Every structure is written in structure tokens, then in C-alpha cells.
Amino acid sequence: MKNFKMDLHCFGAGENLHTTTGVTDTESGLSLPYGKSDGLSAEMRTYYADYLIDNAEPNLIHDQFGQKHRIPKNGGKTIQFRKYDPLPKLTAALSEGVTPTGQSLNMGVVEATVHQYGGYVELSDLLLLTAIDNNLVMATKLLGSQAGRTLDTITREVLCGGTNVQYGADAVAARYLLVGGASGENHYLSVDCIRRAVRFLKNQNAEKINGAYACIIHPDCAYDLMSDVNWKYPHQYRDTKALYEGEIGMIEGVRFVESTEAKVFHAPDLAENARTMQCLANAYTTLDTPGTVTEGCGTGSLYRLKIGGASEGYRATQKLVGRAILYYDASESSWQYAVITGALYSASGDNYVYLDRELRAGATGATALTTATEDMLYPGEAGLGGRDVYATLVLGDNAYGTTELEGGGLEHIVKQLGSAGTADPLNQRATVGWKATKAAARLVEAFMVRIETASTFEAGETA
């Protein structure tokens, strides 16, 4: 018998259409009839809703250390997270027989607006008739993973917007100065970085979570940290602690949870065909006196930098507007930061970018980028030279809040063949999807620290 492969796309009636119908779930043994109505019993609906949540929860790494609140029904689009101020010290002695004045709890409320997210997969009747696998189960599994990663990213972005940032071991003052991959000193995650974050949280009286602070770390940074002799693996302490999802170890009173979804600041390429842009000669690096610019880039007082002619391959296109760049200021012997406020590209002539500041210290018109090692412009949204920067979050208790999956947070939705009525006159399309209501909020900024470092690795572009 010859082997063959089935291309499920061949059975699709549209770009996003796949196929599924009347099958039996091999895990639950439930028959899955398809008809014009919902077709799923209450038991089956519960099973698949739980199955969706079970596949979403392992991806919610960033949710597991926050306050959990159910989505309020009929409560509008906002959800309230509560935080309590600590009670003051009472150093005055009690008077004999005199009842002291009672105290009041000072409770603050942080409100967050909930938003809905969701996605679905279309399944055709022919796939349901011909495919061997239970596509409803597989689609639910994949959608659960998608839902978990999506909701996790929403919480991650909120946490990474926190105001307490530590660049390496406080070695530099900005993200764009973090060094990685150099022959000399690099700013990688170290035990000293963790100690400094713990010191900050202790000074803020941040409470621990189950006896330790929690940390969310990318595998690339975990590699840099785990070689320390004081590192403890879970089997060395798990007898006394229930492990978190993704937990990999402990050091300096911090328990680490690893996730590939940890935040990575990646700077995209500066030009269409190059990660960097180069000033090819001194004649191309002369800065014009600030003046009114009208060449399709708006108006204002800007500095103009000539990148090169059309043949060099370094294109200054309109896509660069708003991008950050790094450049080396030879007169200051330091790396500087600028923002491209306008760009002009000529297919047959010169290429220019317009900047919000002059690329050097000194008189206008002189050249700043002069040598082979100092004439490169790098993307400035990440580390030095465009190096990827990783965010490692160290968290205390009640630092943030998020919504739960159950109780309205995550819903499994199945539409059977023919359920669309006249929009599906031949009963050809079924769908399975998810919809979630989500909110996350930072409650106490002082109870969280974001450590930004480079790594021995480069993660590349991530979402």
C-alpha cells in the first residue's frame, strides 16, 4: 500500500476554512453530532469549556502571582482591584484602664477597563467526513493555547510598563546602553542583579509570596544565571513548597518561573535591506543648519543627515519616521540617542534622514561621524548596537491584579454545520472558537522591579 498525505487545505471552501463533523471524542468518548442547532449537550459543553481552560492555564505564567478577580456580571466595563495601606506603628504605651482609639483600614481602589479578545477556526463538512482525527478536540486544544498566550501577553505588557527599572546591576542609566556580545564587559543577568532587586523590594516592605519573591525569567537569561553555585533546583526544596507553573529554581530568596513569553525588547531593522545604516564618507555626514524642511517630511527645525546615494543600499524611507537611533559622538566619546522625525528617500539621488537633535557636540555644520567604527547608525529601541534586551520581573505579593478565566473570563464557542442559516445554505461550515474578557492592572508599583539586561543569546523578533 502506498503512503499518502492529506492536505486539509484542499477541503476548505475559503482561506480560513478547514473541515470537521460528526466524530467521537477519543478522550471523553462523547459523540459529537452536528446539526442545525448547537448539537452539544450540557455535559459536552462543560467538558469542552474545561478542556479549553485546561489548555489555556499553563500559558498564563504572568497571571499566577497577581490578585485574581472574577469578571463582574452586569457591572459595566470596569473591574476594581483593592489595595490596603499598612497600619502605622503604635509606640505610645496604653493607659491603664483606658481603651485606645480604634483604627480604620485605609483601602485604595484601582480600576481597570475590561476588554474582549477572541479567535476561531472554520471547519468544513468534507473535512469532518474524511479526516481521521477529532478536529473539534484538536481545534479546542490549539485555541486554548492561543487564548492562554494571548491573555498572558496582555498581563505581561501591563507589568512591563512598571516604573521601577534596573538596568543590569545599575551599571548604566538607559536601555540603549546595555551591552551584549562584546569581548569586554557585558550586561548579563547576574546574582548581583537579583540581590539589588530583592534589596529594593525589602526596603519597600513588599511581602513575599509563599515565603519568597517571585521572578519571571526568559530561558536565555536563565542560562546566564543558573551556573551560580548558590542556585537551587526544585528537587532541592520542593518538599516544603508547591511548585509554580514553569518553576525552574531558586536563589537569594527568589523563586524563578521560566517562560519564552517573557518580554524581549527587539529593535527591528533600520533600513529595508539592512539592520543598520552607514554614513559612507565624511562628505555624507555633514549636518545642515536647522531650518524649515518641506521635502514631504513636514515642517520644523530639524537636523539633516546624508546617508548615501541610491546605489549604496541604505535607504532612508518614510518608514523610519519615529524610529530611534544610536550613534557614537566622537567628541564626547559616548553613545547618544536620537529620534528620526522625518525621512526622505530618492530613488535616483541622495538619501537623508531628519533628526530631532544634532549628532555631535560643537558647532553646527561640522561632521560627527568620522571613522570606520564610528559611522554606523544602530536601531535604538533595544540595547547598544541594537542588541536584544530582556525584561526579568521580580514581584512581591499584591503587586498587581488580573481577571480569572472562570466565571466569564474565557468562553468556548461552537457553531455547528448549518447554524448560520441562509448564510450557510448547504451546511458546509462549522466553527469553534474562544472569547475572553480580560483586564490587568499594576496595584503597587513599589512591589515590583523590572531588571533589563542583555544576554549571551539573541531572541530575535518576538511578540
Name the residue ranges covered by the structural domains of the chain. 8-84+108-160+401-442, 277-380
Phi, psi torsion values for 462, nearest 5 degrees: -130, 165
What whole-number distance in Å separates Cα of residue 440 and Cα of residue 153? 11
**β-pair type (291-292, 334-345):** unpaired
Q: What is the pLDDT of residue 246?
A: 93
Residue 36 in this model has a pLDDT that exceeds 80: no
> How many DSSP H helices and E strands does the chain contain?
5, 25
Nearest to 111 by CA among 72, 165, 162: 72
Out of 137-151, 274-288, 306-320, pick the least confident: 274-288
What whole-number distance in Å separates Cα of residue 67 and Cα of residue 297? 47
CA 38 to each of CA 14, 139, 278, 404, 434: distance values in angstroms, whole numbers, following the listed order: 23, 17, 61, 26, 15
Nearest to 331 by CA among 284, 369, 365: 369
DSSP state of 19: E
Q: Which residue has the higher pLDDT, 19 or 179?
A: 179
Q: Tens of pLDDT along 253-270?
A: 999 999 999 999 999 888
Q: For 342-436, where are the alpha helices, taking DSSP H only?
A: none
Q: Which three cell numbers stand for residue 110?
A: 484601582
Q: What is the pLDDT of residue 80?
A: 82
Most distant CA pair in the chain: distance in Å? Answer: 97
Rg of the chain over all Cα atoms, to the nearest angstrom = 28
Residue 220 in this model has a pLDDT that exceeds 50: yes
**Phi-psi bin for 57: left (phi > 0), alpha (psi -120 to 50), beta?**
alpha
What whole-number distance in Å separates Cα of residue 127 and Cα of residue 411? 25
Averaged pLDDT for residues 91-101: 87
**Which regions of 91-185 does DSSP assign to beta strands (E)?**
107-113, 115-124, 165-167
Q: Give the CATH architecture of domain 8-84+108-160+401-442.
A: 2-Layer Sandwich (3.30)
Where is mean pLDDT largest: 50-59, 112-121, 374-383?
Answer: 112-121
Q: What is the pLDDT of residue 365?
A: 45
Q: What is the pLDDT of residue 304?
A: 72
Residue 254 pairs in a beta bridge with 213, 251
User: Roughly how many angstroms between the first and final C-alpha of the chain, as a whole number?
Assistant: 44
Where is mean pLDDT largest: 77-86, 168-177, 346-355, 356-365?
Answer: 168-177
Q: Tens of pLDDT along 132-182?
A: 567 778 888 999 999 999 999 999 999 999 999 999 999 999 999 999 999
CA 109 to the chain's CA centroid: 26
What whole-number distance in Å separates Cα of residue 314 and Cα of residue 308? 7
Residue 283 in this model has a pLDDT that exceeds 50: no
Q: Which three cell numbers stand for residue 334?
A: 559616548
Per-residue confidence at 295, pLDDT binned at 50, 70, 90?
A: very low
Q: What is the pTM of this model?
A: 0.82
